[in-house]
A = this chain, B = another copy of it.
Amino acid sequence: MAGTGTSAPRQRAKGLSREVIVDACLQLADEAGGSALTFRRIGQLLGADPTALYRHFKDKDELLLALADRLIGDALRDFEPGPSWRDTIKDLVVRGRRAYLAHPQVAALAAVRVTRQESEMQFIETMLSTLRQAGFGRDDAVRIYRACADFMLAWTGFGAALKSLGEKSEADNRAWAEAYAQAPADRFPNAAASAAAMPGISDEENFAFALDLLLDGIEARLPG
């Protein structure tokens, strides 16, 4: 069942399936951007008629949900919980982020969706189980789970959207550096003075920093 040996189903017109289509979508989005994720281009890549996709997904929305679930599944591949609850939570968050950012153009569209499918369920269960074993009560565990999961999804989707935008209109990416350097120093002294340091902070560092802040706050709330 788990599609491990992905042979070469590409190029042949016939033999479509949800898996093959999702594969093509990821490839297409990576190569040509998220805006290339149209039925006609997907069909062209698969050598099939665009409307053939409607036999497998009733909607573009349903296709997007399948893409989202695929990303969550990628995040959990080969995952195993460790002895430290804090490291395990951190690992889950980092894995989710990494899996999403492996396909930024898709992540920008999918991070905000709730798939309520298999992989998402597994992710939730693993996190809740980890928190319960760490000693948190049931309500606290739910609270903290949502804080961590939403933090990961929101921040990752944000970064993915920025990256997606940046590849097309690079103005946004460089805007951080340029705009602050051009800031009039009399009205915005701190912004102008910090212009040099601003672009030096990558989204990756920024995320790791905030995640540590969050985990410190969680640890301080550990009962007992």
Contacts and interface: CB of A to CB of B under 8 A. Distances in A.
Contacts of A57: none
Contacts of A146: 198, 201, 206
Interface stretch (A6-14, A29-37, A157-165): A157-165
A194 B129 CA distance: 11
A188 B138 contact: no
B138 A197 contact: yes
A142 B213 contact: no
A10 B137 CA distance: 55
A147 B191 contact: no
A71 to B, nearest CB: 16
A194 B128 contact: yes
B147 A209 contact: yes
Q: Which 10 A-B pairs have the closest CB atoms?
A: A213-B217, A154-B158, A116-B179, A128-B190, A112-B161, A216-B217, A125-B188, A154-B154, A147-B210, A142-B197
Contact of A158 (B121, B153, B206): B153
A79 interface: no
Interface stretch (A17-25, A43-51, A81-89, A169-177): A169-177
B158 A112 contact: yes
Contact of A191 (B124, B175, B189, B206): B124
Dominant secondary structure at the A interface: helix
Interface of A: 61, 111-114, 116, 121-122, 124-125, 128-129, 132, 138-139, 141-143, 145-147, 150-151, 153-155, 157-159, 161-162, 165, 169, 172, 175-176, 178-180, 183, 187-191, 193-194, 197-198, 201, 203, 206, 209-210, 212-218, 220
A204 to B, nearest CB: 12
Nearest to A128: B190
A161 B108 CA distance: 11
A22 to B, nearest CB: 20
